[in-house]
């Protein structure tokens, strides 16, 4: 499937693009099933919030219609939407009001070993820590070097994901996922006010749990809490939910709440 730039088939952007130069932009990775972008409203909501916080000038209606058209043509797969602040004229300084550049890329459906979902995964304990930057926290911006460094820490196929802490040692998320704990019936996920990406699937899991009457909390999480958790799982908008079996010396069994939420998310993603 051809990529699109500003609504036209294209497979390159100008060398002056600020996404390339500075990571000055945002992205969304969206699962597409039978031509429909899954959880589109949540993706566009996060994108709008990112545009507002970074003062990126975008047309939400145009972006929605392009995503819908691209997804319809893609059929089944993964759609990546990038917005950059367009071309750079002079260093870091921005041209107020300049419209974003819209980039759409399609790829085939993601394929992961089915055992990740059934038996659960191992998390690699990453040494790379997340920096605390409240101005960027929660956003899916194009600066992802911490994740690149963290993902380079392991090469073996034994570990499907990595665990990332912040500089103060709080448990934040996975390298490409958010993390949930079940502690005495409470569903807990990290507060992302200082760092981390506020995942679309994390928001969906929190909403689904609340609808089921399950108590939920968003709070700082210590390694001790993680170790003592009854269940642990990771999630993102492409693979859904993977139960976590172990991370270094810590281990957990796959529990009933993880299975319940996994079933709901599987139905959403049709997997």
Ligand X SMILES: Cc1ncc(COP(=O)(O)O)c(C=O)c1O
The catalytic residue positions are 29, 140, 173
Residue placing its CB nearer to ligand X in the complex, 70 or 176: 176
**Least CB distance to ligand X at residue 205 (A):** 9
Q: Which residues bind ligand X (CB under 6 A)?
A: 29, 147, 173, 176-178, 197, 199-202, 236-237
* Residue 183 three-state SS: strand
Chain center to CA of 200: 7
Q: What pairs with residue 14 in β-bridges?
A: none
CB of 236 to ligand X, least distance (A): 4
CA dihedral 170, 50, 124, 79 (to 10 degrees): 160
User: Closer to ligand X at the Cβ: 123 or 201?
Assistant: 201
* Least distance from ligand X to the Cβ atom of residue 54, Å: 17
Shortest CB 95 distance to ligand X, Å: 29
Nearer to ligand X, 39 or 74 (CB): 39
Contact 86, 18 (CB under 8 A): yes
Q: Which residues contact 25 (CB under 8 A, 6 or more apart)?
A: 18, 19, 56, 82, 83, 84, 85, 100, 101, 141, 142
- Which structure tokens are listed for 220? 């700082």
* Identity of the residue, 68 or 203, whose beta carbon is nearer to ligand X in the bound complex: 203
Q: Which residue is nearest to ligand X (CB)?
A: 199
């Amino acid at each position: 499937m051809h990529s699109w730039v500003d609504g036209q088939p294209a497979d390159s952007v100008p060398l002056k693009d600020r996404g390339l130069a500075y990571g000055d932009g945002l992205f969304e990775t969206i699962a597409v099933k039978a031509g429909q972008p899954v959880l589109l409203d949540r993706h566009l909501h996060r994108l709008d919030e990112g545009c507002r916080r970074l003062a990126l000038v975008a047309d939400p209606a145009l972006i929605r219609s392009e995503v819908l058209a691209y997804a319809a043509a893609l059929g089944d797969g993964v759609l990546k939407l990038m917005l950059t602040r367009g071309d750079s004229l002079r260093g870091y300084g921005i041209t107020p009001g300049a419209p974003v550049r819209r980039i759409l890329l399609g790829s085939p459906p993601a394929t992961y070993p089915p055992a990740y979902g059934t038996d659960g995964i191992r998390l690699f304990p990453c040494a790379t820590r997340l920096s605390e930057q409240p101005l960027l926290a929660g956003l899916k911006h194009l600066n992802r070097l911490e994740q690149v460094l963290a993902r380079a820490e392991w090469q073996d196929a034994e570990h499907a994901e990595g665990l990332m802490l912040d500089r103060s040692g709080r448990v934040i998320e996975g390298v490409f996922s958010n993390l949930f704990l079940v502690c005495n019936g409470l569903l807990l996920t990290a507060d992302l006010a200082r760092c981390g990406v506020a995942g679309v699937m994390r928001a969906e899991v929190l909403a689904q749990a609340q609808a089921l009457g399950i108590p939920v909390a968003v709070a700082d999480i210590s390694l001790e809490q993680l170790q003592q958790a009854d269940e642990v799982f990771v999630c993102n908008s492409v693979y859904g939910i993977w139960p976590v079996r172990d991370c270094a010396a810590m281990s957990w069994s796959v529990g009933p709440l993880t299975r319940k939420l996994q079933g709901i998310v599987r139905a959403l993603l049709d997997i």
